[in-house]
Amino acid sequence: MAKNGNLVIFRNDNCKDFAPAVATGDFEPLNNYFVFPGFCDVHVHFREPGFSYKETILSGSKAAARGGYTSVCTMPNLNPVPDSLENLNVQRQIIEKDAVIDVYPYGAITVGQKGEELSDMESMAQYVIAFSDDGRGVQSEKMMLNAMERAKKLGKIIVAHCEDNSLLFGGYIHDGIYAKEHNHKGICSESEYAPIKRDLLLCEKTGCAYHVCHISCKESVELIRKAKSLGVNVTCETAPHYLVLTENDLKEDGKFKMNPPLRSIEDRNALIEGIKDGTIDMIATDHAPHSADEKSKGLANSAFGIVGIETAFPLLYTKLVKTNIISLEKLIDLIAINPRKRFNIPFNDSYTVWNLDEEFTVNPEEFLSKGKATPFEGEKLFGRCVKTVLDGKEVYSMLGDR
């Protein structure tokens, strides 16, 4: 880190091409401003086309910019599903028109994300960041093998939502203490780690680049750690809520419902060890907005998913860095550097300026996202985004909020 007047400009060996020209004259000088490379989130749901009442490319990208993000990758559970170039172009046109930051779409692995037939991967390959059926696990081993072989030839990553439907039994929270004590249907950890185990063997066989979405349990961490030690081409992500919350924090409220679910203290501890030792490569928000009505039906009947792109950095800084669990440099690696390295996403002269001394209370009504469901409502966090810049253009300024 290098000091520049009242600013601290963050640098490390992994972002040598990050060298912003920081304008300092448009906000009141305070202590402890930090300039970071623009954050990068490889797992967001911006819901457009098809579900713009939940979120749009415009509202989602504005929310991302407010959170310090200058690059995001949008998941394909849309309507139409981007399973062909024709369908993908519907989303690409909206991105071109409305996005205020760099938005990279995923292409679907299978037609309609139904797991029955491979998508037109060849036609989409040059226009998508990778291939995923996120929101649904690829149930067939043969289908995943074929997808990996095809992706390998195209030089693309398979990004997997790992969930075995045969092990769900109608569950909607972790199959643990809270579920038993409150008579809820649980989701077992095996529904996550069994598909990971299967896919790691396929990845080793095919040589395909493979990335695991939102891991949440200790068995997943150990499987990926072992695979990496064997040289398998695998990376993975977890989300902020799995590093901060457990099933012990659950309340009878839809804003605590996400998939995978909040798991045990032992699982959270394993995830933290995983980010410390490099088993977990990056943190992605899995920003998943829904309407107020869809999130108002309790744990059993609310839609899966919470928002988080506007609070991710303050949450992780407050809960992990200020408590000395990880360093600030490590956090920047996890949310800015490593995602770009794995997915080959350029910095595009982007940076974000933060006042790390400012404390605020999370108020969803202030979010730029259309989604308001967060389990962190009312939490006091440190770190306020002052501005975010992409390609020399200011895409967010705190002055616009005040």
Residue 44: CB partners within 8 Å, gap ≥ 6? 60, 64, 72, 73, 74, 75, 284, 285, 286, 287, 309
User: Kind of pairing, strands 102-105 and 131-132?
Assistant: unpaired
> 287 - beta bridge partners?
44
Spatial contact of 56 and 46, defined as CB atoms under 8 Å apart: yes
SS3 115: coil
Is residue 143 within 8 A of residue 202, CB to CB? The reply is: no
Report the DSSP beta bridge partners of residue 34.
Answer: 8, 354
Q: Of residues 199, 267, 286, 349, which has the active-site annotation?
A: 286
Cα–Cα distance between 394 and 380 in angstroms, integer? 27
Q: Can you list the positions of beta strands (E) in 121-232?
A: 131-132, 158-160, 173-174, 186-187, 210-212
CA angle 326, 330, 336 (to 5 degrees): 135
Q: Determine whether 286 is an active site residue.
A: yes
| Contact predicate 302/296, CB 8 Å | yes
CA dihedral 374, 329, 395, 106 (to 10 degrees): -70
Name the β-bridge partners of 69. 39
E strands, 288-350, are none
Nearest Cα to 351, choosing from 14, 21, 97, 106? 21
| Distance from C-alpha of 168 to C-alpha of 156, rounded to nearest angstrom | 30
> DSSP code of 10?
-
Q: Angle at Cα 334 formed by Cα 269 and Cα 88, nearest 5°? A: 115
Please say whether the beta carbons of 385 and 263 come within 8 A: no
Distance CA 263, CA 260 (A): 8
Q: Which residue has the tokens 């993000």?
A: 69
Instruction: Name the residue with tokens 């077992």.
Output: 188
Catalytic residues: 286
